[in-house]
Amino acid sequence: MEEKLKELLPEDTLKMWYALTAEMYKLYDVDRTWNKGFGCWDIEYKYRRGGKTLCTLYAKKRRSNSSYNNFLS
């Protein structure tokens, strides 16, 4: 899944993704799960602790007619 993430996100966004997740790992003892995505998203990463989702990040490839490179939520 890491390779897919590298394909989807430009380098600066990928660095931001990794920095954000590194901070989550420092602050919390979390488990990471991923899914193929749903709807318009290509990847879904969930960061969970104690059976509850703390944060979910989504990524998708840019559409040719979109003014945004990628979206993170």
pLDDT above 90 covers what percent of the chain?
Answer: 15
pLDDT at 68: 47
pLDDT at 19: 93
Amino acid identity of residue 12, one-letter, is D
**More confident of the two residues 52 and 35:** 52
pLDDT at 16: 92
